[in-house]
Structure 1
Amino acid sequence: MASKREEIIYKVSSLIHSQGYENTKLSEILQVTGIGKGQFYHYFSSKRELADAVIDYLIAIMEEALFENILDQPISPKEKLNQMLDEICDMQMENQAKRGCPIGNLAIETSEHDPMFREKISSFFDRWEHKVKQTIDELQQEGMLGQNIDTTKHARSMVAMIEGAILRMKNKQDIQVLRDITDVIRHEYNLKEV
């Protein structure tokens, strides 16, 4: 059973995901969690400390879903990339293509103003790029990509394409935007031929 602190983080993560960190007011946090101001300050010294815990929570969810459950698994590199793209589309479908990537949203909102949040979020994206690079390296080692391919640049481009597609999908509120971009990625890496 989750602790009260974990329950607060879980409930507020959804609130911040849907309306952003800055737009989330303490009164809304108290309402959605069903706690009073005194209890809030028992668990967190500030809204910023809570947001820091929310970022850790959201990153942990993404790392479990994408890294532990897919990219770190002993399956073929094509299967890894296909499953990663499928999982990302499934995550967005859960929110009717309206909320976007919770970590990407926070990156856009907080990176300019909060160095701690920026570093934490940047570190997540660096790890994601590294996992994708390792998978693209596997494709290259298996002769499915040319040896002259810069896998670091390709990994960074793939993550950027995905995050850009999610941003555009959120703006249009249309999951097809994300599907179109993931189709381009699948075509680029011959992922449909599994």
Structure 2
Amino acid sequence: MSKAEKTKQHIIEKTATLFNTKGYISTSLSDITQATGLTKGSIYGNFENKDEVAIEVYKYNAGLLGKTLSRSFSDEYPKALDKLHAFVDFYRKNWKFVFSNGGCPIMNAATEADDSFPALKNQVKKSFELWMSKISTAILEGQKKGEIDKRVNAEQYASLFIMLIEGGILLSKTMGDQSFLNHALDKITHMIDHELNILPS
């Protein structure tokens, strides 16, 4: 990496949690300089403006989450149902890490950037589309292999899983009680075992 690339990466990494906890709009340039130890001139020497920093930080935060979640859908789990269970288990095992870093970066950005930050909203849309694609692809593969009921609508279940998880995270974080997320994950597990599974347990 060049010196400029290293500086940009330093800025992104040092402000990743800051943007996710304080907000992509509320985080100020002064917050960025304090977190990075750099001057305003250095920040603007690497990014056009604060919005560009926010976009790149969102990509970084969403990318970290996506990279970790992608393991659930890898060849490590040959069966589709195992992939879906691994996806649920990720949230059971990592909810403390997600909460300590401000919650789900996709949901946080989505609620904040709705109409006030179109460029960020577009990035969030891409993240949700990618997430839904991974889940629905796993379901479709399971249907081809005879593991999952062919009457199941893969896209509908993919979106439902996301809605349940994001809602569970939101309530658990707001109420300070992880049971809301656990209820959502239990519901998804039940759907996997009793609605998707061709041979319900």
TM-score (norm 2): 0.86
Deviation at 1:111, TM superposition (A): 2.2
- Output one character per residue of 1:153-186: Cα deviation in whole Å (capped at 9) or x when no partner: 1111111111111111111122221112111111
Q: Distance in 1 between matches of 2:99 and 2:166?
A: 16
Summarize the Cα distance change of 1:100–1:45 in structure 2 as closer, same or farther, 3 Å threshold: same
Q: Distance in 1 between matches of 2:120 and 2:75?
A: 29
Cα pair 1:96 1:175 within 8 Å, conserved: no
2:106 to 103, 107, 124: 103
| Alignment gaps of 5+ in structure 2 | 195-199
- Output one character per residue of 1:106-165: Cα deviation in whole Å (capped at 9) or x when no partner: 011012122221111101101110110011223333444432221111111111111111
Q: Distance in 2 between matches of 1:97 and 1:109?
A: 19
- Output one character per residue of 1:36-75: Cα deviation in whole Å (capped at 9) or x when no partner: 11111111121101001111112221221112x2213352
Sequence identity, in percent? 28
Cα pair 1:13 1:58 within 8 Å, conserved: yes
Single out whichever of 84-93 and 161-170 deviates more from structure 2: 84-93
TM-score (norm 1): 0.89
Taking only aligned residues, the RMSD between alpha carbons, in angstroms, comes to 2.3
Residue identity in the other structure for 1:70: S
Q: Which residue of the partner structure matches residue 134 of structure 2?
A: 131
How many equivalent residue pairs? 193
Cα pair 1:96 1:173 within 8 Å, conserved: no
2:88 to 81, 85, 88: 85
Matched, 1:10 2:39: no
Matched, 1:179 2:166: no
1:25 to 25, 28, 31: 28
Q: Distance in 1 between matches of 2:92 and 2:29?
A: 32
Matched, 1:71 2:73: yes
